[in-house]
């Protein structure tokens, strides 16, 4: 399946706990802040992949990256959910069950402000903000593929398929971006 609808909203929430700002040149600004809402199942569903390669530059804070090897098996500890198709009313893509797997940690690393890291399409990882939870990155897509990406969720845990990307106004989201980028503490 080819995914043809691109997120066109300039600024939205992402269920993994960051603000996503669409930039020119196939780039995005991602901003983490400890006050931002996350998927209800976040603790069980942070591991995911992407349908594109990307380079990300940390511009504020320190990013923690956790890499995983995915091993499909019928009794795996995680359920894989394929994200293909048109976006839902909440701004996400459908969560279609796509088998079970084990995810084995394959490395962890920290990336401090001023440094880049690369991620290859369909490699499983989880990314979390270090320090006080305020991190900003600029991500640039480096190649895109037609098959959808996956999220994972611990087997037996219901994924939060209804996370609403528009639950905060653009003004509130820009205040978060300002807080992280300029160090101006605000209360959302």
Per-residue confidence (pLDDT) for residue 157, from 0 to 100: 97
**133, 35 Cβ separation under 8 angstroms:** no
pLDDT digits (tens, 9 = 90+) for 117-137: 999 999 999 999 999 999 999
For 73, counting Cβ atoms within 10 Å of its Cβ (0-12 exposed, 13-18 middle, 19+ buried), the class is exposed
Domains of the chain: 11-182 (2.60.120)
pLDDT digits (tens, 9 = 90+) for 67-99: 999 999 999 999 999 998 888 888 888 899 999
Between CA 102 and CA 69 the distance in angstroms is 8
């Amino acid at each position: 399946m080819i995914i043809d609808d691109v997120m066109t909203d300039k600024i939205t929430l992402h269920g993994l706990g960051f603000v996503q700002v669409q930039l020119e040149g196939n780039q995005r600004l991602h901003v983490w802040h400890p006050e931002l809402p996350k998927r209800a199942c976040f603790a069980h569903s942070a591991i995911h992949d992407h349908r594109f390669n990307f380079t990300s530059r940390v511009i504020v804070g320190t990013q923690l990256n956790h890499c995983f090897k995915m091993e499909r098996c019928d009794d795996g500890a995680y359920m894989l959910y394929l994200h293909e198709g048109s976006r839902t009313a909440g701004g996400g893509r459908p969560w279609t069950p796509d088998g079970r797997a084990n995810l084995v940690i394959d490395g962890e690393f920290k990336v401090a402000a001023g440094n880049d890291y690369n991620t290859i399409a369909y490699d499983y990882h989880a990314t979390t903000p270090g320090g006080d939870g305020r991190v900003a990155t600029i991500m640039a897509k480096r190649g895109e593929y037609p098959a959808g990406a996956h999220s994972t969720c611990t087997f037996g845990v219901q994924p939060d398929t209804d996370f609403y990307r528009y639950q905060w106004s653009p003004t509130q989201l820009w205040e978060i971006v300002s807080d992280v980028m300029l160090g101006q503490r605000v209360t959302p």
